[in-house]
């Protein structure tokens, strides 16, 4: 299993500003995933963050808008840059389990509202 601490849990931001979301895992994991969940919608993968390499972004997401850091095997950050109201969503980090437990575990999410 994996326990994920994600913060902040929620924030209200002004347009044009940036917010950095932190994700801390209680075990070392190679892969970490960042998802976006727009209001009332399903999950959409933003990027995969592997330690020691550049994050891999999905179609429709770019590094300038969503820069990711992965300094070690237990921590990652996602920044939402130059925010607009369309960025209002829940942002979730996720990791695979360890010790043969391959399912994905999720943080509790960051509820972002942009005014």
Closer residue to another protein (CB): 13 or 43: 43
* N- to C-terminal Cα separation, the chain: 37
Distance of alpha carbon 101 from alpha carbon 15, whole angstroms: 40
Stretch that binds another protein, among 60-68, 72-80, 81-89, 91-99 (CB under 8 A): 91-99
Q: Between residue 35 and residue 74, which ones bind another protein under the rule CB under 8 A?
A: 41-45, 48
Cα–Cα distances (Å) from 22 to 40, 60, 67, 110, in that order, read 23, 22, 12, 9
Contacting positions for another protein (CB under 8 A)? 4, 6, 31, 33, 41-45, 48, 92, 94, 96, 102-109, 111
């Amino acid at each position: 299993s994996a326990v994920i601490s994600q913060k902040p849990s929620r924030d209200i931001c002004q347009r044009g500003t940036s917010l950095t979301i932190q994700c801390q895992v209680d075990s070392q994991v190679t892969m970490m995933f960042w998802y976006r969940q727009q209001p009332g919608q399903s999950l959409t993968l933003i990027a995969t963050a592997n330690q020691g390499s550049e994050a891999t972004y999905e179609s429709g997401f770019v590094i300038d808008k969503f820069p990711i850091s992965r300094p070690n095997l237990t921590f990652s950050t996602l920044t939402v840059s130059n925010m607009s109201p369309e960025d209002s969503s829940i942002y979730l980090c996720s990791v695979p389990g360890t010790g043969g437990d391959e399912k994905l575990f999720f943080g509790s999410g960051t509820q972002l509202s942009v005014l």
